[in-house]
Amino acid sequence: MAELTYRQAIAAGIAQEMGRDPSVVLLGEDVGAAAGVFKTYSGLYKQFGPTRVRDTPISEEAIVGAAIGAAMTGLRPVADIMFADFLATCWDMVANQAAKTRYMLDGQVTLPLVIVTGNGGGLRFGAQHSQSLENWAMAVPGLKVVAPSTPADAFGLLAASIRDPDPVLFFGHKALYAVKASVPDGEHVEALGRAVIRREGKDVTLLALAAMVPRALAAAEVLAEHGIDATVVDLRTLVPLDTATIFEAVSRTGVAFTVEENPRLLGWGAEIASLIAEECFEALDAPVVRITAPHVPLPAAGVLEDSAIPSVERICATVLERCA
């Protein structure tokens, strides 16, 4: 087992796939010698050269447009969009072109395209560089949505995304880039659409994603001191969504909470709460509770940003209130 940071795991996952498949290419702003603004592509330019690791102009439309064309003509591009917020500038390319081409051409053309982007807050980057936008992508038919919480999953899920025949939005979380943990040696690929139970408990179920997973796990340890045993489910991918694991965990405890970094209105937890109500209603002891950011632009001021994003303290307080 190797010890890698989350950002190193992203580079390692891409390197694995570039090494095994010459059609895999990386393109984006400063992804070459500079290794990306967050240094998530360190070593790739030196290892694979400027033909396969290409710097682009400062244009998200150009990056995604070029990647779509490359995917349609036989390559497997990985396109870097520096901040998830910047998806807004190329959303037509993502939602109207990449997501729909295979469907509209009746499968005659596939789009094995991955868009890797820095998602989420907690680093004082302000409202235009801190949004958690995985729910945007979840709402568009034709896109797969991945948001790992650990270095091992960043590696394995990125490798699986590159091998997938459909366009995948891979939301790497900026606040996790420096987190270090074990990654399996040798070829490592994690299947898309499989959630993981990070902690088993009998009283309540916490459903979390990306940076909210370690917070949910920390909250579970605090809740245990209050006599509440929590299951923590790491969703890992929103599309495809592992409803089987969700329903099994919720049915076992009867009490469910979603822990979401995105703003409350139309967050991914709303869809999951709806599915739980439809499929697990008889097993529920109480309505599903969503722990989210408020429906406001994320503040840059530290104390305000910290109050907006679900914290360990807020998760615990919400669970304790419901259980009381």
Active site positions, annotated = 129
Q: Are strands 180-183 and 168-173 parallel, antiparallel or unpaired?
A: unpaired
**Distance in angstroms (rounded) separating the CA atoms of residues 300 and 2:** 35
Q: Beta-carbon neighbour count of residue 304 at 10 Å?
A: 11
Residues 6+ apart with CB under 8 A from 313: none
Residue 88 burial (10 A CB sphere; 0-12, 13-18, 19+):
middle
- Measured in residues, the chain has a length of 324
DSSP labels for 217-244?
Answer: HHHHHHHHHTT--EEEEE--EEES--HH
**Which of 297, 149, 156 has the alpha carbon at shortest distance from 212?**
149
